[in-house]
């Protein structure tokens, strides 16, 4: 018998590792995981370092993102981008989108 995976735990641990490795700060970016017809994604305003299991919510992949934003807890504002990627690329099962400090600094200096 296979052991049921705790997808929220996987994402919470991954989020803390992103902070530990200096790949982002605070709530900079988001991560999500596709499991069949659902995705798990961080809620709006949750910081990677402090995010608890309840801060990763399960969202139906086929439901309109506009309907999901009216529910509580509110998903990341990047939900539409994640849903778009999953719908366009069936082989993608995880998205890691961060705002690395030095990349942000470099992008801000280009004028």
Residues with catalytic function:
78
Q: Name the strand (E) or helix (H) holding 60.
A: strand 56-60
- CB distance 98 to 28 below 8 Å: yes
**What number of CA atoms fall less than 13 Å from residue 40's CA on the CB side?**
18
């Amino acid at each position: 018998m296979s052991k049921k995976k705790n997808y929220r735990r996987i994402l919470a641990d991954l989020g803390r590792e992103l902070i530990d490795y200096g790949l982002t700060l605070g709530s900079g970016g988001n991560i999500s995981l596709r499991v069949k017809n659902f995705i798990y994604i961080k809620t709006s305003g949750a910081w990677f370092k402090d995010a608890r299991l309840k801060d990763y919510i399960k969202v139906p992949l086929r439901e309109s993102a506009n309907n999901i934003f009216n529910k509580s807890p509110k998903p990341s504002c990047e939900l539409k981008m994640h849903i778009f990627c999953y719908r366009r690329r069936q082989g993608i099962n995880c998205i890691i989108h961060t705002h690395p400090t030095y990349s942000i600094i470099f992008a801000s200096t280009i004028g």
